[in-house]
Amino acid sequence: MRRLHATLLAVAFGAALAPAAVAYEIDPLTREPIEPYQDTRAKATPVPREEVAYSSKFAPGTIVVSTVERRLYYILGNGRAIRYGVGVGRPGFEWGGTKAITRKAEWPDWTPPPQMLKRRPDLPRHMKGGPENPLGARALYLGSSLYRIHGSNEPETIGQAVSSGCIRMLNDDVVDLYDRVKVGTRVVVVR
């Protein structure tokens, strides 16, 4: 994050960024290098929410997340679904399986888990809900896991693999999904 702020300041004040050796952070879980931040805003394209043809074996009301497509499908039935763009876990933080929504929250507070604080000691220990909060406008908590489907204050990350395992959505989209689902909704994450 500090590197990002330094880069943004340099660009804002017209400083030339000299090519330098890239210092990679090492992920403590996978022992793999973490790619340095790359600004994808210029490359990001909007991922529209839309009703699409979608045949599946899942019951209406099920949420299916395709991490490869970086799309979330809310199954309507009769071969139809609502498709949303999502951000997914970056390399080393991918996961798959079946969970259920165990809690719903509007403008949720955020307390980074100890594992995240170990990787990112610069993060706040707690953050009240609101527009600056990384969980965005709504959060759907998945079982007893650390994962959530939540909004984002970084819309440029939708369609990217950048999270620590959570499924990110545009705030407008997560509000739409939040209004459609209830506690107990089945969520299937496919890799």
Instruction: Quickly list DSSP for 167-180.
Output: EE--HHHHHHHHHH
Which residue's entry shows tokens 């879980």? Answer: 29
Q: Is residue 37's pLDDT more than 80?
A: no
Query: Cα–Cα distance between 63 and 167 in angstroms, integer?
Result: 12
3-state SS class at 6: helix
Distances (CA, A) of 145 to 98, 99, 103, 125: 11, 9, 12, 19
- pLDDT (0 to 100) of residue 5: 40
Q: Model-level pTM? A: 0.74
Query: Cα–Cα distance between 86 and 69 in angstroms, integer?
Result: 9
In the CATH scheme, what is the homologous superfamily, with its name and number, of domain 2-190? L,D-transpeptidase catalytic domain-like (2.40.440.10)
Whose CA is closest to 104, among 179, 14, 171? 179
Q: How many residues does the chain have?
A: 191
Query: Cα–Cα distance between 169 and 82 in angstroms, integer?
Result: 13
150 is known as an active-site residue: yes
Q: Is residue 30's pLDDT more than 60?
A: no
183 is known as an active-site residue: no
- pLDDT (0 to 100) of residue 78: 94
Residues 50-70, mean pLDDT to the nearest whole number: 96
User: 2, exposed or middle or buried, with CB in 10 Å at 0-12, 13-18, 19+?
Assistant: exposed
Domain ranges of the chain: 2-190
76 compared with 114, residue with greater pLDDT: 76
Which of 166, 170, 177, 189 does the annotation list as catalytic? Answer: 166
Q: Positive or negative, the Cα torsion across 144, 186, 132, 22?
A: positive
Q: Is residue 43's pLDDT more than 80?
A: no
Task: List the end-to-end C-alpha distance of the chain, in Å, as a whole number.
Answer: 28
Considering only the C-alpha atoms of the chain, give the largest distance between any 2 of them, rounded to a whole number of Å.
57
Per-residue pLDDT band for 16 (boundaries 50, 70, 90) equals: very low
Q: Is residue 105's pLDDT more than 90?
A: yes
Which of 150, 152, 160, 178 does the annotation list as catalytic? Answer: 150
100 compared with 146, residue with greater pLDDT: 100
